[in-house]
Amino acid sequence: MEEERHDVVVVGAGPAGSLTAKKAAAQGLDVLLIERNQEIGVPVKCAEGVNRAIEQFVVPDKRWISAEVKGANIYAPDGTKVVLSGSKMEEVGYVLERRLFDKFLAHEAARAGAEIRLKTEACGIIEADGYARGVYARSMGQTTRIYADAVIGADGVESRVGRWMGINTRLRPSELSICAEFLMCDIDLNNEYSEFFLGNTIAPKGYAWIFPKGDDSANVGLGIGGDVSGEKHRAIDYLRAFVHERFPAGKVIAEMYGAVPLSGPIRESVANGLILVGDAARHVNPLTGGGIIYAMQAGEIAGDVVAQAVHEHDLSKQRLMEYETRWKKEFGKRLDTGLKAKHFLFNLSDDDLNTLAHSLQGVEIKELSTWALLTELMQRNPRLLFGLAKLLL
């Protein structure tokens, strides 16, 4: 078996992995970024919407931005429309072309000095004295021992890297959103707004979305709770019904499927020699399913912390806890709020959702964040949302 050595090995070349690799390599570390697929950004398993906070990390480029949206239209089960628009939209702003965006981030990591290796899958952890010391990686039928001072698990919702080091990364069905999405063309849509549709007949314990991608095309998809998914009640079944009703003449030119963790943050995102980032650490808003910005934030923090730890020759869990402290300070409260809101709101009836939508008609919310929206709803529906207020306030 061949062997090699690096300071850091990052498993997974999504936004979280690439940002970690870039940050660590920029501080002089020998970084290897491995990706099991043969092409970064493929297959796409994302609705591709992101807010303008992305500008903290990269300069927007028309090459990987399909559309720029001014706001969102949210539809209650009875069709009542709530319009949200403004410069502080939390969940919308740009619709990305993830195939190109992910490649761009990996390119940035490579420019910083990281080595990138495709068609290379981590198949086990190298452990010594209770520390992660690298991974076993399989590529082209050959297994290689890749030794490293630190391992970064950016291997997505199904993360095995954390599990190999004793971190519980398993998810119950109720902690997952099962998603199906079509890239459609030849449809009539509003290119300046993303649209969201609520209702237990449309997407139980979830929602449907339409994200414009320019001209007459859009990502049309939905996510449902994993605990309500079953025979003839799968995400794809709900999506076909949704598309048949709204875009009967539209053309499907691509299909995408995946799962999003809605469990809230993982209990511990570090171990001796190991850090988990992005979906692997459950850095996803449990209410909205949005996670790209959190993944990028976590990646930058992880790259900074691991670089310092390697220079100090201290990769203990205690030393790496700085990463957990920092990401929790940055966005931990938002994830906790989203989880509490999810538990309450996902169990409301269609009549309750209609009542909430009616209460927001004609209302202007200055800061269009999840928290601002929830606050406005609680103020206008104190009886209906008394339980939610108890959880959040």
Which tens digits make up the pLDDT trace of 203-223? 999 999 999 998 899 999 999
CA–CA separation, 74 and 82 (whole Å): 5
Phi, psi of 271, deg, nearest 5 = -145, 180
CA–CA separation, 117 and 37 (whole Å): 10
Question: What's the pLDDT score for residue 72?
Answer: 86
Question: What's the pLDDT score for residue 356?
Answer: 93
Binning pLDDT at 50, 70 and 90, where does residue 28 land?
very high
40: CB partners within 8 A, 6+ apart? 13, 102, 103, 106, 116, 118
Q: Would 315 be classed as within a structural domain? A: yes
> The domain that contains 324 carries what CATH number?
3.50.50.60
pTM of the model: 0.94
Q: Would 217 be classed as within a structural domain? A: no
Count CB-CB contacts under 10 A for residue 348. Answer: 17
317: CB partners within 8 A, 6+ apart? 270, 271, 272
Q: Write the CA distances from 273 to 133, 187, 318, integer angstroms.
A: 7, 50, 10
Question: What's the pLDDT score for residue 349?
Answer: 96
Angle at which helix 15-26 crosses helix 98-111, to 10 degrees, equals: 20
Count CB-CB contacts under 10 A for residue 158. Answer: 13
Q: List the domain range (segments joined by +) for residue 164.
A: 2-45+99-172+264-339
With vertex at residue 323, the alpha carbon angle to CA 319 and CA 324, rounded to the nearest 5 degrees, is: 105
Across residues 286-291, what is the average pLDDT?
Answer: 93
Inform me whether the pLDDT recorded for 367 exceeds 90: no
Three-class SS of the chain: CEEEEEEEEEECCCHHHHHHHHHHHHCCCCEEEECCCCCCCCCCCCCCEEEHHHHHCCCCCCCCEEEECCEEEEECCCCCEEEEECCCCCCCEEEECHHHHHHHHHHHHHHCCCEEECCCEEEEEEEECCEEEEEEEEECCEEEEEEEEEEEECCCCCCCHHHHCCCCCCCCHHHEEEEEEEEEECCCCCCCEEEEECCCCCCCCCEEEEEECCCCCEEEEEEEECCCCCCCCCHHHHHHHHHHHHCCCCEEEEEEEEEEECCCCCCCCEECCEEECHHHHCCCCCCCCCCHHHHHHHHHHHHHHHHHHHHCCCCCHHHHHHHHHHHHHHHHHHHHHHHHHHHHHCCCCHHHHHHHHHHHCCCCCCCCCHHHHHHHHHHHCCCCCHHHHHHHC
Q: Would 147 be classed as within a structural domain? A: yes
Q: Which tokens go with 38?
A: 């043969």
Structural domains in the chain (count): 1
Q: Would 6 be classed as within a structural domain? A: yes
CA–CA separation, 205 and 246 (whole Å): 21
Q: Would 122 be classed as within a structural domain? A: yes
Count CB-CB contacts under 10 A for residue 259. Answer: 21
Binning pLDDT at 50, 70 and 90, where does residue 364 land?
low
Across residues 306-323, what is the average pLDDT?
Answer: 98
Q: Would 91 be classed as within a structural domain? A: no
What is the Cβ-side half-sphere exposure of residue 2, based on CA atoms within 13 angstroms? 8
Kindly report the average pLDDT of the chain as a whole number. 93
Q: Would 387 be classed as within a structural domain? A: no
Q: Would 216 be classed as within a structural domain? A: no
Inform me whether the pLDDT recorded for 120 exceeds 70: yes
What is the Cβ-side half-sphere exposure of residue 329, based on CA atoms within 13 angstroms? 7
CA–CA separation, 301 and 303 (whole Å): 6
Binning pLDDT at 50, 70 and 90, where does residue 371 land?
confident
